[in-house]
Homo-oligomer: A and B are copies of this chain.
Amino acid sequence: MNCFDRLADRVAAADSVLCVGLDPDLDRLPPAVQDHDLPRWAFNRRIIDATAEHAAAFKPNAAFYEDPDGWRALEETLAYAEGKDVPVILDAKRADIGNTARQYAKLLDAADAITANPYMGEDSLQPFLSHPEAATFVLCRTSNPGGADLQSLELEDGDQVYERVADLAAEWDDGNVGLVVGATAPEELEEVRERVPELPFLVPGVGAQGGDAQAAVEHGTASAGPYEGVGLVNSTRGIIFSYEDANVPEDRFEEAAANAAKSLKRRLNQYR
């Protein structure tokens, strides 16, 4: 089953466009999971249990799993989310030349979708794009302050680089390509939506990064065509580490996460 079909079903079933990021920073995990053989997996499991009903998808960022125990924790996490029937996007931002990209594409055996970096061009993404079921979210306009350094360079015809990336992604699309467009750049978000009306967006930057939730929903989840209304708005630290600011004991960190996920889901739903 095509990833976007699965995602459409999940958005409807959970009545949510919320994507919950799973970035289990070892320096920030609560003591309650520190003694576990795989603290990151123990943490994620409780977060998944607490937030799954509000989540259209989960998004682990590969950076937080890049060591032997980390990859074990990631594998457990992917399988567990799969068991909950919630799609998982591996936030890997990968791309490489042919034989190497094929290696990276193996990551899609356990995830439903991946994020990919377009700088190396189409063939560097081909092993992702040709996966029979998975989706690829191509970085377009990212939510970080330096996102503009390259992405907003003006081309000879007046377009900016990220706009051309959106066009290229639409060319590469065979019902399996989405875009990453940050909520911290709401005008660009609107512009990209007009440019490529059919591509589903993954919109990071709401929450800890302070992005515009209304713009995120209105443009990010407004895809027309076969995947109408499919799109995701991501929050990570604002959910998984919400216990740090919430009035709950740290050994019940998942309660704070559940509350934060429910609250953000509702807020996002106001704009749908």
Contacts and interface: CB of A to CB of B under 8 A. Distances in A.
A75 B68 contact: yes
Interface stretch (A50-58, A115-123, A191-199, A224-232): A115-123
Contacts of A99: 23, 25, 237
Nearest to A121: B146
Nearest to A72: B68
Contacts of A266: none
Nearest to A168: B149
Contacts of A72: 68
Interface string A100-131: 11011011000000000111111110000000
Instruction: Describe A's contact surface by its main secondary structure.
Output: helix
Contacts of A143: 97
B63 A96 contact: yes
Interface stretch (A81-89, A153-161, A246-254): A153-161
A272 B70 CA distance: 43
Interface in A128-186: 139, 142-151, 153-156, 158, 161, 164-165, 168
A142 to B, nearest CB: 5
A71 B66 contact: yes
A16 interface: no
Interface in A212-268: 237
A69 to B, nearest CB: 8
Contacts of A71: 66-68, 70-71
B142 A61 contact: no
Interface of A: 23, 25, 61, 63-64, 66-72, 75, 93-101, 103-104, 106-107, 117-124, 139, 142-151, 153-156, 158, 161, 164-165, 168, 209, 237
22 contacts: A25-B103, A61-B96, A64-B103, A68-B71, A93-B95, A97-B143, A97-B144, A118-B149, A119-B142, A119-B151, A120-B142, A120-B144, A121-B146, A123-B146, A150-B161, A150-B164, A150-B165, A153-B161, A154-B155, A154-B156, A155-B155, A156-B156
Per CB-CB distance, the 10 closest pairs between chain A and chain B, nearest first, are A121-B146, A121-B149, A123-B146, A63-B103, A97-B144, A119-B119, A122-B146, A68-B71, A63-B100, A154-B156
Given A123-B145, A154-B156, A156-B158, 12 more contacts: A63-B104, A66-B107, A67-B75, A68-B69, A70-B71, A93-B96, A93-B117, A120-B146, A120-B150, A120-B151, A121-B146, A153-B164
